[in-house]
A and B are shown apart, each in its own frame.
Chain A
Amino acid sequence: MQKKFGMAYIVDRCVDCKACMVACKAEWDVPEDHFRTHIHTGIKPEKREKPSMDFLPHQCNHCDVAPCVTVCPTKASHKREDGIVFVTRSKCVGCKYCIASCPYDARFFNHDIGVAEKCTFCLPRALEGKEPACATTCPGNVRVFGDLNDPESEISVLLKDAAEKRLNVWKLRTDLGTEPNIFYVKK
């Protein structure tokens, strides 16, 4: 069966150390003022007796119905068969339309080379059967990457287990119809 890559974050393990962000930058030589992955900090005093902070990593959601792919005039942004939304730099004209189209604000404009950029699930590493740099580096094992079509893969086992235990599993803004492939799991 064709592979379909996805990632799950076990969010209560995240301590906001930002090792993922640094590893990604080192792997991809991301320009100084941008990141391909972020950690969102939420303070939720209204839901708890004591105020608490939550850390949520986020990045490109590799949507099945990706708005960036729909709007890209040159087809530089495209959905690969393995589920990865990829930008072919040599085809990107730099119109920035994909950046404005992304409801996850996951893209940025790389002024050094004049193209739109974002997370690619570390495509060359994924093709070698490795995890993306962020997942390898994460000291808390927050990020679980793998083939959603393989029932034996770590991510499939995690999601199956989470469903059986009725854990909180959600994706971002499914109401927008983008069908993202990043899962949030709260144990």
Chain B
Amino acid sequence: MEFQEAFEWYVAAYLFLAGVGAGAIVAAALADMYDREKYLSFIKAASVIGMPLVSIGIGFLYIDLGQGFWKPWLLILLFANPTSAITWGTAILTLFTLFSLVYGAYNLGFIKFSGGNTMRWLLIITGVLTAGYTAVLLGVLKAIPFWHQTALPILFIISATSTGISGAMLVKEVFFKNHDHLGKIESTHMYLLILEIFLLAGMFLIALQGVPEMKYSAMSLLTGKFALEFWLFLVFGGLLIPAVAFALAEGGKMKISGGKLVLFEVLVLVGGYFLRHLIIHAGVYTQKFTEYLH
């Protein structure tokens, strides 16, 4: 079995940063529609990281490109092929970046135009598409069976929203020195983590029954060459520990603020990066020669 080596950590970094940025803005736009006043500190914090993180992510993508960084005029060709998921992604990212720039500038007081509910809906739609297309990008490739599954975009959207909330909470706590307890957002975050755990478990149970290449990818994560990172950074650090902590806080058995909050949010973010890093690196090419002797 051959692990793919075309996509490396630069791509994982892009998928992660685009996810955090888009997730933060989607969560902020939803909170904004629900009760702007109550969640203003969260909305402002999300605005600080939303568009900038997506842009830094795109920066990673440019660095990864063989020629685009040196011949920027080639980038316009990224719109050339309507059958390519990169073309879809480029269009989605362009729209989302523009909308989130306007929305962020409004929330941070640089401009007075918000675009109202239309803008919030546009942000939610393009934000979810930004988070989801990054998995569709991988999923449309038949050559790598582990990526070729429908659960992936759903997993990426949930993870993006969860890491986006973490990113915004972190900025709110550290830079805005605002210790508001945002009950609804914290509960949502806990449920997202629980959902992510179930989805990931389901994905693995199905992958283990899949074609040999899919099983090989899954095993490389569960017990193989990526097992340590998978269990340590993704499963325990990134999902189980924060989910249990948030559940305890939800039940009133633990108070999460200050340093503790920063710790758990950082764990979620590290887990979010490793989710993408590991799924990308565990990609195994479909075998070429399965029936070569007759």
Partner-B contacts on A (CB < 8 A): 40, 42, 44, 47, 54, 56, 58, 67, 70-76, 91-97, 99-105, 109-111, 113-116, 168, 170, 172-173, 176, 184, 186
Specify which chain B residues have a CB less than 8 angstroms from the CB of A104 in the assembled complex. 288
Whether A71 pairs with B78 at a CB distance below 8 angstroms is: no
Whether B143 pairs with A54 at a CB distance below 8 angstroms is: no
A-B contact pairs, 18 of them (CB 8 A): A40-B288, A56-B289, A67-B142, A72-B84, A73-B77, A73-B80, A93-B75, A93-B78, A95-B68, A96-B64, A97-B6, A100-B141, A100-B283, A101-B142, A103-B142, A105-B285, A109-B66, A173-B288
Known: A96-B7, A115-B66. A75 touches B77 (CB 8 A): yes
B87 within 8 A of A: yes
Whether B142 pairs with A170 at a CB distance below 8 angstroms is: no
B209 within 8 A of A: no
Q: Select A94's contact among B68, B291, B292, beta carbons within 8 Å.
A: B68
Specify which chain B residues have a CB less than 8 angstroms from the CB of A93 in the assembled complex. 65-68, 71, 74-75, 77-78
CA distance in complex: A54, B288 (Å): 15
CA distance in complex: A58, B2 (Å): 15
Specify which chain A residues have a CB less than 8 angstroms from the CB of B143 in the assembled complex. 67, 100-103, 105
Known: A101-B141, A103-B143, A105-B288. A186 touches B294 (CB 8 A): yes
Specify which chain A residues have a CB less than 8 angstroms from the CB of B85 in the assembled complex. 71, 97
CA distance in complex: A160, B70 (Å): 50
Smallest distance from the beta carbon of A103 to chain B beta carbons, Å?
A: 4
B81 within 8 A of A: yes
User: Which residues of chain B (211-242) have a CB below 8 Å from chain A?
Assistant: none
Whether B290 pairs with A173 at a CB distance below 8 angstroms is: yes
Specify which chain B residues have a CB less than 8 angstroms from the CB of A67 in the assembled complex. 141-143
Whether A103 pairs with B286 at a CB distance below 8 angstroms is: yes
Give the interface centre of B65, B75, B143, B286 by most chain A CB atoms within 10 Å: B143
Total residues of chain B contacting the partner, CB 8 A: 40
CA distance in complex: A54, B137 (Å): 36
Smallest distance from the beta carbon of B154 to chain A beta carbons, Å?
A: 21
Specify which chain B residues have a CB less than 8 angstroms from the CB of A42 in the assembled complex. 289, 292-293
CA distance in complex: A100, B71 (Å): 23
User: Which residues of chain B (246-294) have a CB below 8 Å from chain A?
Assistant: 283, 285-286, 288-294
Specify which chain B residues have a CB less than 8 angstroms from the CB of A186 in the assembled complex. 294
Q: Select B77's contact among A54, A71, A74, A101, beta carbons within 8 Å.
A: A74
CA distance in complex: A119, B87 (Å): 25
Whether B142 pairs with A172 at a CB distance below 8 angstroms is: no
Smallest distance from the beta carbon of B152 to chain A beta carbons, Å?
A: 14
CA distance in complex: A116, B2 (Å): 18
CA distance in complex: A76, B38 (Å): 51
Smallest distance from the beta carbon of B196 to chain A beta carbons, Å?
A: 25
Specify which chain B residues have a CB less than 8 angstroms from the CB of A97 in the assembled complex. 6, 84-86, 137
Closest 6 CB pairs of A and B: A94-B66, A114-B66, A74-B77, A73-B86, A99-B6, A103-B143
Whether B286 pairs with A73 at a CB distance below 8 angstroms is: no
